């Protein structure tokens, strides 16, 4: 027996455990001080009514012989694939039903898609980034190269024609930075990928936060993208499905074999998302469902605005917030990420996430999220203003 030695090349991630440890140490020393957590990377508002109603109904169906369901199609029920197809139409993207694959979330698909690609492919990943892209490729023994996202390019790096890559990760709006590419910038990536015969793996997990016509929701809004891109999306941030689990991946037929290979991969290694969850997901795409999830998204976006406006008042450089639940700020007074974490915890009892945990270029930056309550966000920002205003 030989183990997969590539696992030894993974960097230990102490980010969230170190945050938790520092917070618990502080609170045991200062039991009277109220800590506000703006480091949360998970939704906090409950599922909307339309979703819950659909789930209840599906649960009842499962208890009746005539409507009981066993194994479903591995790639998802047609009712949900049609709902996703209709959703893409609202962004002027036409998809065939067999290009849409329902899954238990974007994270699994982002990892699993690598089954389709040879180990000798070179992978291009922006730095800083969602750690899943790097770690899944390290596990498979693939070579990862980085492209710098930094203050100079407002954390939206553009392709460099001198860099050769086969697989390219793009996350827009971005986690952790909240920065989102406009049409022209995405076009540059599509042209670059097509010119090289590379595939873009486009993570659209935060597309639902976009409310500006200049910012595409889907990479397929760009001409030529169906020839070079696979898109991943999820109901996690869109509709609070982080614990319910449902997402979808688009593999265009224009990518040739890849569409059938992904179908083969899923039918071999995956047995589908629960019927009950797919009915809940279908409800998200109804008119009422969309209205209800927008209310929740607007709640988070309002928090993001409160954070962003406070940072502006304090002259703190930042991106994000406008099209995402994340605000990415440059630590005041040139502090390092962890130094700022400690300072903020000690002096304002506000917790965020050190940017250095997302890559080398994250050093000196800090992530705040809008997933907290409005009351806590307002109070945290009042404390912030006292320190830096
Ligand atoms: C939250 C998140 C996802 C969604 O993952 P799920 O597995 O669908 O919950 C995907 N990509 C990024 C960058 C995320 O932050």
Query: What gap in Å lies between CA 141 and CA 137, rounded to an integer?
Result: 6
Find tokens 């130094």 and name the residue. 339
How do the pLDDT tens digits run along the chain, 389 residues long? 999 999 999 988 889 999 999 999 999 999 999 999 999 889 999 999 999 999 999 999 999 999 999 999 999 999 999 999 999 999 999 999 999 999 999 999 999 999 999 999 999 999 999 999 999 999 999 999 999 999 999 999 999 999 999 999 999 999 999 999 999 999 999 999 999 999 999 999 999 999 999 999 999 999 999 999 999 999 999 999 999 999 999 999 999 999 999 999 999 999 999 999 999 999 999 999 999 999 999 999 999 999 999 999 999 999 999 999 999 999 999 999 999 999 999 999 999 999 999 999 999 999 999 999 999 999 999 999 999 99
**Centroid of ligand 1 to alpha carbon of 131 (angstroms):** 11
Intrachain domains 13-42+289-388 and 49-285 with the same fold? no
Q: Output 89-93 pairs: Cβ under 8 A, ≥24 positions apart.
A: 91/216, 91/217, 91/218, 91/221, 92/221, 93/218, 93/220, 93/221
Spell out the residues 6+ positions from residue 162 whose beta carbon is closer than 8 angstroms to its own: none
User: How far is ligand 1, taken at its centre, from the CA of residue 69, in Å?
Assistant: 28
b or e along 22-37 (b: 16 or more beta carbons within 10 Å of the residue's beta carbon)? bbeebeeeeeeeebbb
DSSP string, 59-125: HHHHTSTTT---S--TT--HHHHHHHHHHHHTTT----GGGEEEES-HHHHHHHGGGGS-TT-EEEE
380 Cα to the center of ligand 1, angstroms: 26
CA gap 192, 250 in Å, rounded: 20
Nearest CA, atom 14, ligand 1: 205
* 337 backbone dihedrals φ, ψ, rounded to 5°: -55, -50
Q: In this structure, which topology does domain 13-42+289-388 adopt according to CATH?
A: 3.90.1150
- Its CATH class, for the domain covering 49-285, is alpha beta
The DSSP letter of residue 215 is: S
Domain layout of the chain by residue ranges: 13-42+289-388, 49-285
Instruction: Check pocket membership of 384 for ligand 1, CB cut-off 6 A.
Output: no
User: Is there an atom of ligand 1 within 6 Å of 106 CB?
Assistant: yes
Model pTM score: 0.97
Joined together, the tokens standing for residue 307 give 């954070």
């Amino acid at each position: 027996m030989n183990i997969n030695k590539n696992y030894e090349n993974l960097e230990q991630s102490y980010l969230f455990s170190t945050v938790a440890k520092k917070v618990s140490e502080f609170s045991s020393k200062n039991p009277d001080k109220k800590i506000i957590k703006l480091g949360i990377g998970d939704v906090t508002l409950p599922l909307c009514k339309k979703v819950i109603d659909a789930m209840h109904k599906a649960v009842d169906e499962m208890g009746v012989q005539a409507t009981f369901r066993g194994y479903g199609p591995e790639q998802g029920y047609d009712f949900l694939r049609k709902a996703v197809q209709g959703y893409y139409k609202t962004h002027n993207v036409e998809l065939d039903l067999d290009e849409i694959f329902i899954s238990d979330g974007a994270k699994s698909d982002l990892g699993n898609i690598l089954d389709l690609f040879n180990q000798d492919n070179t992978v291009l990943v922006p730095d800083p980034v969602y750690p899943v892209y790097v770690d899944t490729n390290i596990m498979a023994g693939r070579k990862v190269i980085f492209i710098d996202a930094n203050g100079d390019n407002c954390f939206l790096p553009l392709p460099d024609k001198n860099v050769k890559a086969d697989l390219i990760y793009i996350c827009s709006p971005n986690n952790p930075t909240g920065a989102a590419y406009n049409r022209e910038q995405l076009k540059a990536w599509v042209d670059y990928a097509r010119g090289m015969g590379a595939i873009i793996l486009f993570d659209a997990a935060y597309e639902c936060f976009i409310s500006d016509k200049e910012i595409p929701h889907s990479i397929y809004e760009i001409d030529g993208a169906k020839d070079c891109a696979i898109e991943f999306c999820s109901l996690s941030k869109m509709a609070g499905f982080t614990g319910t689990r449902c997402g979808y991946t688009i593999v265009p037929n224009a990518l040739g074999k890849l569409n059938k290979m992904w179908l083969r991969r899923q039918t071999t290694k995956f047995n589908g998302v629960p019927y009950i969850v797919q009915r809940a997901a279908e409800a998200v795409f109804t008119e009422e469902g969309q209205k209800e999830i927008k209310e929740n998204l607007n709640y988070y976006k309002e928090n993001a605005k409160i954070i962003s406006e406070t940072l502006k008042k304090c002259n703190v450089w930042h991106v994000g917030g406008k099209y995402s639940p994340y605000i990415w700020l440059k630590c005041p007074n040139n502090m390092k990420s962890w130094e700022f974490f400690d300072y903020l915890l000690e002096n304002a009892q506000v917790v965020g996430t050190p940017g250095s945990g997302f890559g080398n270029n994250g050093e000196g930056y800090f992530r705040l999220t809008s997933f907290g309550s409005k009351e806590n966000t307002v109070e945290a920002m009042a404390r912030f203003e006292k320190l830096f205003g």
